[in-house]
Structure 1
Amino acid sequence: MTPRHNPEVWPVVHDERLALLRDLENLSAKQWETQSLCPGWDVHDVLAHLTDSAKATRWGFIRRMVLAGFDFDKDNAVGIATQRCVDPAQTLAGFRDVLGRTSTPPAAPATRLVEAFVHGEDIRRPLGMRGDYPASPVAKALAYQLRTSVKMGGGKERAAGYTLVATDTTFGHGAGQEVHGKAIALLLAVSGRPVAPDELTGPGAGAFVERTRG
């Protein structure tokens, strides 16, 4: 089954895009400038990136990577510059136009879930918002990140030596000291995002949080 036609992924992604759109519809100009959880990107940048990613196609992605010299950061910067408008309302309108798209770069279907959940929190947490994410699809995104090297945008190395246990769905991974938390908190941590100390518990929680922050 191709990523473009995966029925376990796209309904969730579409729901998450719509939920994010609704959360951002009434932001002030100052809020759009809020630093996101992505270093160097504000909230406006992350939304532009999500729009650019939603428009990506397999061959278009390959072509752009060639032009960027296979530099992901450079390609992301080009995508943000293309989709970010002077007026955030126009950028939001562009995001609205891609809500139902199923185009994708040449990547595993779970990457679409990772992007929806992690970038959703990249935006929401600095704004004092929290998303209501479905635990089972979040766990699928988490499982993908745990199989994927940090060099490829995953979190395999960050979780090495720990047993991660989700408290809101059936999920366990690894060997070592246990770390317990909601699937979204575990996903953010292994993806290199900061989480609050009280979001993760268990004998390995403290050291695990310190590692993921590093």
Structure 2
Amino acid sequence: MASTGLQVLGLVLALLGWVCGALVCAAPQWRVSAFVGGELVIAQVLWEGLWMNCLSQTTGHIQCKTYDSTLALSTSVQAARGLTVLSLLLSILAVMLGVAGAKCTHCMGDSNQASKARLTRIAGVLLIVAGLAYLMPICWTAYATVRDFYDSNVAASLKRELGPALYLGWGASVLLLLGGALLHVGSSAPVGRALPVSGAAAKPSPSMGPAGEVKQQEKSFV
């Protein structure tokens, strides 16, 4: 019963991580414009994401535009795109395998528990890989943003700060990793204990050994 609860909890966390990851992938707030000058009035805020950038004004008007060319983007943005999309695809595949192999489902029948447990463990490993793949572009974007912010050679107008999408991305990665770990632990086979040797099994057979020969000789003389 405990392993079934771990599997269900792992699937729920994996689904939440996938939803958060999809929102982060589409959100344009990976990096926001930083105001390090002496201006007190901020009229516009620039948001930058993987697929578009947006210009938010104090009046509430937001204007977004997708990037014109993928090849014109930096290598880090292209790699972040590929890793996030790959992570989302692996996550949805892992969730499908986890649902098929969970103990509380009947997708593969109830008689094939060993195959179902193996399938769920594979789903857990895929979720862990997906979480690590999603974590890499998030951490790299945060590192590059902080590095450029404190670089004196970068102009003040080009400095950026960490956007709220990065924090949600860290949460999505943690959910995927926890979901994969719970699925794998909940599907692991319990460690069997060695059965004690019974006393009757340890006794010699009455027809074998010296004692058995003496009994047979006594019977022959009678």
Tell whether the structures are fold-level matches, with TM greater than 0.5.
no
If asked which structure has higher relative contact order (CA below 8 Å, sep 6+), I would say 2
